[in-house]
Amino acid sequence: MSLSEEIASFRVNLARTLSCLYTIHQASEDLLESSAEEISLKLAKLQDLLSEVSDCHQSSVNYLVDIDQQWGSGQFSKSSKVNRSNHQSAALKSNKKKKIDELQSLVDYREKMGFPVAGSEEDNATVTKLQIGDKTYFGVNSSRNPNRRKITLRVNFISRTHAEADVFQQAFDAGVRSDYVKLVVDRDPCRACGLRGGIKGMARQLGVKTLEIISPSGRQIIQIT
């Protein structure tokens, strides 16, 4: 993509972000005049919009990086493209190996608990691992958890029964706090935990600023404000 195309794409992405923010502002004002049933639906819409804003922000950052690289060195030469491609390939291989190593610890924990293989027909468990500070906690969804605990963290009623809530509650009860946590899950987070902010909300209550999530579909870094 040329420099002018990068700048044009950045401006389109910025306009999309501003449009989402304006919609969020208008929707938040409507909450004051909404019934309890309407509030639930509107909050879900707001969470979807906030997720879109987050995606736009990351895309804008990527565009700015590319613009900066092209502005500093002109159009990419063939060799620079190859070097960049090789660097990205090496990074992808490193991330893939890291993801496999992290998920293996959940496989081992499943065996220890006597749970079926993740994703098999008889499997109805979700296992998570939370690394926070120098502590590591393993969690299981409430229907398969032999040590069910009361969830006092503020979180939606769906996520409350999930393995993610179990590990965050363990850390919360232990008084452990950190700016950075790593959450490993052997299923991709559901909409309630992921898109609608269940995991982010619980992490925020532990003082987390940077959240790393590793799941079967990949790895993502989320900045929490």
| Helix spans in the chain (H) | 3-30, 36-73, 78-113, 163-173, 198-204
C-alpha span between 172 and 7 (Å, rounded): 44
Residue 158, pLDDT above cutoff 70: yes
Question: Using the 8-state DSSP alphabet, how is residue 181 labeled?
Answer: E
Residue 102, pLDDT above cutoff 60: yes
| Tokens (6 digits) for 178 | 């950190």
H or E segment at 221?
Answer: strand 218-223
Q: How confident is the model at residue 91 (pLDDT cuts 50, 70, 90)?
A: very low
Q: What is the pLDDT of residue 81?
A: 46
Percent of the chain whose predicted confidence (pLDDT) is above 90: 40
Q: What is the pLDDT of residue 171?
A: 97
The phi-psi region of residue 218 (left if phi > 0; otherwise alpha if psi is between -120 and 50; otherwise beta) is: left
Question: How many CB atoms neighbour CB 110 within 10 A?
Answer: 19
Phi, psi for 182 (deg, rounded to 5): -120, 125
More confident residue, 34 or 139: 139
C-alpha span between 91 and 128 (Å, rounded): 25
Looking at every residue in the chain, the average pLDDT score rounds to 79
Decide if 66 contacts 9 (C-beta within 8 A): no
pLDDT tens, residue by residue, 173-212: 999 999 999 999 999 999 899 878 899 999 999 999 999 9
Percent of the chain whose predicted confidence (pLDDT) is above 70: 67
H or E segment at 132?
Answer: strand 127-132
Q: What is the pLDDT of residue 75?
A: 47
Q: What is the pLDDT of residue 135?
A: 93
**pTM of the prediction?**
0.58
The sign one gets for the Cα dihedral 11, 15, 20, 26 is positive
Q: How confident is the model at residue 58 (pLDDT cuts 50, 70, 90)?
A: low
